Amino acid sequence: MCSVHMCELAGKSEREAAQLAWAGQHLNLSLSCCVCKRSPAAMAHFKTEQDDWLIVYLKYLLFVFNFFFWVGGAAVLAVGVWTLVEKSGYLSVLASSTFAASAYILIFAGALVMATGFLGFSAILQEQKGCLSTYFCLLLVIFLVELVAAVLAHVYYQRLSDELKQHLNRTLTKNYGQLGATQITASVDRLQQDFKCCGSNSSADWQRSTYILSQEAEGRRVPDSCCKTVVVLCGRRAHPSNIYKVEGGCLTKLEQFLADHLLLMGAVGIGVACLQAESQSVSPPENMKEDTWGQHELIRNRDLGEV
């Protein structure tokens, strides 16, 4: 009887084991089907979360870089405008137009940087891939323009002294006070008053001036702009107490002034250009930004369509 009972128990155990095995297989199959059915949705949700934080990171990164670009453009524009507006009175005594050309290039570059900055803000906030591509192309153009301005300023700085020595004295002796040279005359007068100097190297330079030797001078030994206290015909008396006596004359003063401004223009141009180059090396690749923003836009449009 024990044997029969044991056999029944063994058979029952085998049936239960078979049922459990069948149930396990059925459960695995059901779970596999559920996973297969839910996998795309789960992956899409996970992908959306990844894209969201990456988009936020890219936005903030590009926004910060764009802000510094805009500030740098404003600085470049301010330096160029200040140079032309405040110091344009001295440009007529220069033989070369390189100084003025550098200032105009800086103004153009600064204005372009500021306009590009607004485009960058729009592209970042609205996630427009086309505007973003245009933005980075314009940054490359701006980089080259600022580099050209900086190189021109540096080249002109190297030959500034020789040009002034050759041209300034000739301007004072040949062109001052002549018909058709009103702008040059005004520039020289302003130069002598602003820098408190007289003549290219000294007040003696005026003794060879065509203007001083002519009747228009009315007996003046130096122009009235050489006087410390300017009154009509004060240049008749070349008295040391009323005439500026500066060692090196206006040549030294103007050379130092132009050198300082050329260094400033070159430093600003190169500085902003280096900032742009550095930002390009740090910012994420363009294809990464385009792919991420494109996927984000597709997901967002799909969600809106489902709603």
296 lies in some domain:
no
Q: DSSP of 118-157, one letter per residue?
A: HHHHHHHHHT-HHHHHHHHHHHHHHHHHHHHHHHHHHHHH
Most trustworthy range by pLDDT among 34-38, 143-147, 211-215, 232-236: 211-215
Q: Which pLDDT belongs to residue 289?
A: 47
Domain residues for the domain of 236 are 48-283
- Angle between the 2-87 and 249-282 helix axes, to the nearest 10 degrees? 160
Dig out the tokens for 269 from the structure. Answer: 């141009």
Q: Classify 227 as helix, strand or coil.
A: strand
**Mean pLDDT on 245-259:** 77
Q: Is the pLDDT of residue 298 over 80?
A: no
Contact 235, 219 (CB under 8 A): no
**Would the pLDDT of 202 be above 50?**
yes
Least confident of 116-125, 126-135, 171-180: 126-135
Q: What is the pLDDT of residue 46?
A: 45
- Which position has the higher pLDDT, 165 or 95? 165
Q: What is the pLDDT of residues 139-189, one digit of tens each?
A: 778 777 777 777 777 777 777 777 777 778 888 888 888 888 888 888 888
**What pLDDT does 8 receive?**
47
195 in a structural domain: yes
Say which range, 22-36, 99-113, 222-236, 277-291, has the weakest mean pLDDT.
22-36
35 part of a folded domain: no
**How high is the pLDDT of residue 116?**
80
How many structural domains comprise the chain?
1
What is the percentage of the chain residues whose pLDDT exceeds 70?
Answer: 61
Predicted pLDDT at 279: 58
Decide: 225 and 189 in contact? Cβ < 8 Å: yes
> Does residue 38 lie in a domain region?
no
Residue 297 falls within a domain, yes or no?
Answer: no
CA distances from 175 to 163, 178, 206, 208, 254 (A): 16, 6, 12, 12, 18
Which amino acid is it at 113?
Answer: V
Tell me: pLDDT of 122 over 60: yes
In a domain, 41, yes or no: no
Residue 277's pLDDT is 64
Q: Tell me how far CA of residue 3 lies from CA of 6, 7, 8, 29, 77, in angstroms.
A: 5, 6, 9, 39, 106
